[in-house]
């Protein structure tokens, strides 16, 4: 006759392992759910940013300016476009030349303050782009510049 005790011992040994496995699966599921809960965007819906193609573009003739290098005459030739919020705002530049000239004046003022050493670095161009957005937006008052695009940027050494 066989003894039922060894069967109970095997079942008793398996149950803690099974219990640990179940607890681990439940803990992993809870951690995943908690991470999703905290990382998921909750609250008011965020309005997605416009695509670049939905904005207006203001084009200028290329700028050729003297840079502020000491002792050396350095020149910059840059083709610059301003991205404004709507195509209607871009059309205003055509309708009101004073807007175009005001923006162009602010750009020339800013460019002539730069040095070739500063503009030769990616950080320098990025800083110039940000400064230009702020300065031109400030000069236009009612139109905000969303971005500044450089299609040509050549420094004469």
Residues in CB range of 118: below 8 A, 6 or more apart: 124, 127, 128
> When comparing pLDDT for 88 and 23, which is higher?
88
Any idea where the domains of the chain sit in the sequence?
Answer: 1-47, 52-156
For range 112-141, the mean pLDDT: 95
- pTM value > 0.75: no
Could you tell me the pLDDT band of residue 146, with boundaries at 50, 70 and 90?
A: very high
Q: Is the pLDDT of residue 26 over 80?
A: no
Q: For 39-94, what is each residue's pLDDT tens digit?
A: 554 544 444 566 777 899 999 999 999 999 988 789 999 999 999 999 999 999 98
| Degrees to nearest 5, angle at CA 55 with 54 and 58 | 140
The listed CATH number (3.30.420.40, 3.30.479.30, 2.40.10.220, 1.10.1330.10) that belongs to domain 52-156: 3.30.479.30
pLDDT at 115 over 50: yes
**What local confidence, expressed as pLDDT, does residue 143 receive?**
93
């Amino acid at each position: 006759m066989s003894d039922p005790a060894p069967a109970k011992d095997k079942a008793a040994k398996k149950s803690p392992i099974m219990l640990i496995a179940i607890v681990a699966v439940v803990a992993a599921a809870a951690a995943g759910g908690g991470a999703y809960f905290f990382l998921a965007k909750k609250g008011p819906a965020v309005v997605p940013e416009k695509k670049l193609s939905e904005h207006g573009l203001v084009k200028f003739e290329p700028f050729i300016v003297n840079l502020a290098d000491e002792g050396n005459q350095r020149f910059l030739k840059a083709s610059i476009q301003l991205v404004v919020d709507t195509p209607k705002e871009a059309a205003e530049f055509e309708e009101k030349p004073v807007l175009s000239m005001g923006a162009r004046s602010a750009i020339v003022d800013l460019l002539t303050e730069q040095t070739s050493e500063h503009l030769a670095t990616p950080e320098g161009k990025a800083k110039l782009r940000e400064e230009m957005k702020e300065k031109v937006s400030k000069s236009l008052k009612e139109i905000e510049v969303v971005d500044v695009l450089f299609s040509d940027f050549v420094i004469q050494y």
